[in-house]
Amino acid sequence: MEDRMTLSVAGAPPRKSRKKYLENLFGPDWKVGQLFVLPMVLIMVLLIFWPFVNAIFISTTAFNFLTGETVGVGLRNYERLWTNSDFLQSIQNTVVFTFWSLLLKFIVGMSVALILNSRLPFRSLLSGIMLLPWIVPEIVTALAWKSIYDPMFGGLNPILQGVGVIDRPLGWLSDPNMAMGSIISVNVWKGIPFFVLLLLAGLKAVDREQIEAAQVDGANAIERFRHVTLPSLRYVIVVTMLLSFISTFNQFGLPFLMTAGGPSGATKLYSILAYEKAIGSLQYGPGIAIAFSVAPLMAVLIWLLARFMRHDDKRDGGFDARPGIADRLVALGAKGVNLLLDIVFWPIQMVFGAFEALIRRLRIASGRPATQPMTSAAVRREGGPWLRVALLVPVLLFVAFPFYWIVITSLKSTEQISQRVSIFWPEPATLEQYRSLVQDTPFLTWLLNSAFVSAAATVISVALASLAAYALSRLRFRGAGMLTTLLLITYLLPGTLLFIPLYQTLTSIGVINSHAALILTYPTFLLPFATWVLMGYFRSIPVELEEAARIDGASRFYIFWRITLPLAAPAILSVTLFAFTNAWNEFLFAFVFITSESLRTLPIGLQSLVVGDILPWGKLMAASLLTAVPVAVLYIYAQRFLAEGLTVGAVKG
């Protein structure tokens, strides 16, 4: 017996060997790493992965209205889509909406970025004005433009009639031939800041020596832009276009709030049709099938974007240093884009060349050498910046006019608005709309609901993101790289693919139509972005500080709490502000998950003020202004920290 015990003890592997074996298998920091990332993983699994998988099964079912039962139909829901005229029309509408929105946002965004990147008076002020549409809630954007487009009380028709462009008021949102163009214009207005921000950052990184060398070689401005600037911006352009494509293709809020898919289905995008089928008609299977019909396209785009956004890791050999299918597809796409650019720039170059030839003739006719400038260096130095400001004025007016319209309409009485007295200025100004809003509607209740939900979702998201980001950027454990990739994919996953399965999940656990439904689901889109940005910022903090603390015997959590978090304060504030803003502005989830008036958040409350064709414009504009002010104040207060935190996180992440 004693010999048997001796053999047993002798044959058992030492405890240190087991520990070493587990560390070799899972990584040296696997225990603490699991604890740090576990909350984020649970949210991803329970509120993203499982609803997504469950939705796939639901999409193969249909509700039998005769028996009241849900029956399996296999892939029939998907097969029916390609013979369904409503679905085909919605896909066509979505493609048109996406194509023109992207094209116009890119052209306007690139033009504005080029101007803002040059020597310009009041550049900071002009840049701030250009970014205003970014911080405005989606509901405010929709209501403001809907008011401007209104054929009777809006401001667009009087302006166009005044300059002689039109001879009668037009129904911008009620005419099937004009509605799509109208909502595309609003999407462009909302998306300009995103393009300007990213393209301006890319322009600042362009090598000036290459541009100067091309100028010395005789290349004109168009040739320098085409063959030097654009190639240097290819990474930024691809990432910007892919991100914008994903968000624009899956757009729901703006089109739904402005036209609800009308008139006559002219603006019914696939996301609106999916909502109508699933939530409006309680046909979850067909509705999910409509939403998931674009999933393959989204998967390809997200895959390509994930490769691009982790290009630094590829260069360092940490992702996949060898060219893969994505790289070959990008190379093929780049050749196609270059060919398209050559075709587009050919007539521009011809016109510019003809203009240069005319200038040379004028110089010769005036007795000057053909190479001598027509104006002196002083005139060019003083006049050039003001000329660029003049070129920027039309875009500034386009960006700023909705804000002006919101303010003046909110200061008018209902009588002034209905009688169209002094359209572009309140005479006299009054606070009647604000008093009526506070006294006659549950506006303050909506305000408190939004504040509570946004604050709770933000605290949860930022707290869990801080833990996960620290683990993924500092700790070594198996699966960290895969989690990082899944995190990016989750961040890019469109809300239109999730809101129907999430509705089913929330209903099954009994929290639908409650603030808990929003607090639980908002981290699905807040947490991935916050984690991604914080990862980049944590990587920028010198690791030597933590190593010194480790030598002194400090635990990982102590280091995280006492050393890393205080140093990452700018990034924490940045992601907190960004998360709170997104939660404050969120419309789709709140619209689908909340039905009780007492539980509505501000975006849904404002939308409920519109009853049929009755639109209390003064009250709506007052509410819109009050909804946008808190976010604007936060951005003004934390602007410096926002720029520092997001810039470092975006570059390093």
State the total domains in the chain.
2
The pLDDT value recorded for residue 268 is 94
pLDDT, one tens digit per residue, over 524-545 is 888 888 888 888 778 878 888 8
- 53 and 175 part of one domain: no
Following DSSP, what letter does each residue of 440-504 receive, concatenated? HS-HHHHHHHHHHHHHHHHHHHHHHHHHHHHHHHH---TTHHHHHHHHHHHHHS-GGGTHHHHHH
- 591 and 480 part of one domain: yes
Report phi then psi at 380, rounded to 5: -65, -40
- Domain-located, residue 415: yes
- 32 and 178 part of one domain: no
Distance CA(137)–CA(150), nearest Å, equals 20
- 546 and 611 part of one domain: yes
First-residue to last-residue Cα distance in the chain: 61
Helix (H) or strand (E) holding 137: none
- Domain-located, residue 616: yes
- 386 and 461 part of one domain: no
CA distances 480 to 337, 475, 486, Å, are 35, 8, 10
Mean pLDDT of 483-491: 76
The pLDDT value recorded for residue 557 is 82
- 95 and 36 part of one domain: no
The pLDDT value recorded for residue 311 is 52
Asked whether the predicted pLDDT for residue 12 surpasses 60, the reply is: no
- CB-based burial label for 417 (10 Å; 0-12, 13-18, 19+): buried
Mean pLDDT of 88-100: 95
- Domain-located, residue 2: no
pLDDT, one tens digit per residue, over 230-277 is 888 877 888 788 888 888 998 898 999 999 898 989 999 999 998 888
- Domain-located, residue 405: yes
- Domain-located, residue 357: no
pLDDT, one tens digit per residue, over 346-399 is 777 777 677 767 777 776 776 666 555 544 454 445 556 777 788 888 999 999
pLDDT, one tens digit per residue, over 593-637 is 998 989 999 999 988 888 776 778 889 899 988 888 887 777 766
User: Could you tell me what percent of the chain has a pLDDT over 90?
Assistant: 24
Distance CA(627)–CA(458), nearest Å, equals 18
Distance CA(376)–CA(396), nearest Å, equals 30
Q: Which residue has the higher pLDDT, 432 or 390?
A: 432
- 652 and 581 Cβ atoms separated by less than 8 Å: no
pLDDT, one tens digit per residue, over 435-465 is 999 999 999 999 999 999 999 999 999 999 9
Distance CA(445)–CA(9), nearest Å, equals 69
The pLDDT value recorded for residue 256 is 92
Of the three residues 402, 427, 452, the one that is the final residue of a domain is 427
Asked whether the predicted pLDDT for residue 96 surpasses 90, the reply is: yes
- 114 and 127 part of one domain: yes
Asked whether the predicted pLDDT for residue 91 surpasses 60, the reply is: yes
Asked whether the predicted pLDDT for residue 86 surpasses 70, the reply is: yes
- 257 and 401 part of one domain: yes
The pLDDT value recorded for residue 438 is 92
Residues in the chain: 653
What is the reported pTM? 0.82
167-193 burial, b if ≥16 CB within 10 A, otherwise e? eeebbbbbeeebbbebbbbbbbbbbbb
The pLDDT value recorded for residue 322 is 54
- 132 and 153 part of one domain: yes
- Domain-located, residue 551: yes
- Domain-located, residue 281: yes
pLDDT, one tens digit per residue, over 147-175 is 999 988 888 999 999 888 888 889 999 99
Mean pLDDT of 110-139: 83
pLDDT, one tens digit per residue, over 530-585 is 888 888 778 878 888 878 888 878 888 888 888 888 888 878 888 888 888 889 88
Q: Residue 171 maps to which CATH number? A: 1.10.3720.10
- Domain-located, residue 387: yes
Nearest in space to 604 (alpha carbons), one of 498, 447, 496, 456:
447
The pLDDT value recorded for residue 615 is 79
Report phi then psi at 142, rounded to 5: -65, -45
CA distances 590 to 161, 520, 596, Å, are 39, 12, 11
Distance CA(439)–CA(451), nearest Å, equals 20
User: Could you tell me what percent of the chain has a pLDDT over 70?
Assistant: 82
pLDDT, one tens digit per residue, over 30-82 is 777 788 888 888 888 888 888 888 888 888 888 777 777 778 888 888 988 88
- 52 and 94 part of one domain: no
Range of the domain at 119: 72-213+248-295+377-427
3-state secondary structure of 69: strand
Average pLDDT for the chain: 80
Q: Which two tokens stand for residue 229?
A: 């600037």
Distance, CA of 597 to chain centre: 28
The pLDDT value recorded for residue 6 is 47
- 396 and 474 part of one domain: no
- 41 and 177 part of one domain: no
